[in-house]
């Protein structure tokens, strides 16, 4: 577990890529899984690239330290990690922080294959329960690209809930 911040209670993880599907998963976790005293850990996976500067160069192999909500709502801080947040996602997080006072909200950023890094996060943080969105890819796209949610469900060592998007892309 990351020693820079003390994580309290159950650790509920949400795989987040700032898409509409991951926003649905985040909202579902807040409405149905997160209780007072829990820690909500947002696991963000970015594509592996050659980074020349910023915080991501320091944490490329191990993932970032746990980042408190007050820092990841700051655009300048997220730029250091190479994260492009979305207003809708930040609104959900800000509302959750206001409504659920006893819930600690943290972010952990990884670089690389989302399937492997989410499973790594489950083991290393560790996460007790994970919520992940499903983009609803068709059979051909899912076969070519692979399904992150399917991989995580089959390889995670904790319970995983897949929140399906109601609209198809």
Q: Domain limits of the chain?
A: 11-164
Q: In this prediction, what percent of the chain has a pLDDT beyond 70? A: 82
pLDDT at 141: 47
pLDDT at 157: 95
Selection from 37, 15, 4, 7 nearest residue 131 by Cα = 15
Rounded to an integer, what distance in angstroms lies between the CA atom of residue 57 and that of residue 51? 6
pLDDT at 162: 93
Tell me the CATH class for 11-164: alpha beta
Residue with tokens 């594509």: 47
pLDDT at 13: 97
pLDDT at 130: 97
The CA-to-CA distance between both ends of the chain, in Å, stands at: 37
pLDDT at 142: 45
Counting as low any pLDDT under 70, the low residues of the chain are: 1-5, 50-58, 136-146, 166-169
pLDDT at 2: 45
């Amino acid at each position: 577990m990351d020693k820079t911040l003390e994580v309290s209670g159950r650790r509920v993880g949400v795989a987040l890529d700032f898409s509409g599907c991951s926003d649905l998963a985040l909202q579902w976790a807040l409405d149905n899984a997160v209780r007072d005293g829990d820690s909500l850990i947002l696991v963000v996976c970015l594509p592996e690239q050659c980074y020349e500067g910023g915080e991501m160069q320091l944490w490329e192999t191990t993932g970032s330290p746990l980042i408190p909500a007050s820092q990841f709502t700051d655009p300048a801080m997220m730029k250091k990690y190479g994260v492009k947040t979305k207003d809708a996602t930040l609104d959900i997080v800000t509302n959750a922080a206001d409504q659920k006072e006893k819930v600690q909200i943290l972010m952990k950023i990884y670089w690389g294959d989302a399937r492997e890094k989410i499973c790594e996060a489950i083991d290393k943080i560790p996460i007790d329960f994970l919520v992940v969105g499903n983009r609803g890819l068709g059979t051909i796209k899912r076969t070519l690209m692979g399904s992150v949610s399917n991989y995580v469900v089959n390889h995670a060592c904790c319970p995983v809930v897949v929140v399906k998007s109601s609209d198809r892309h």
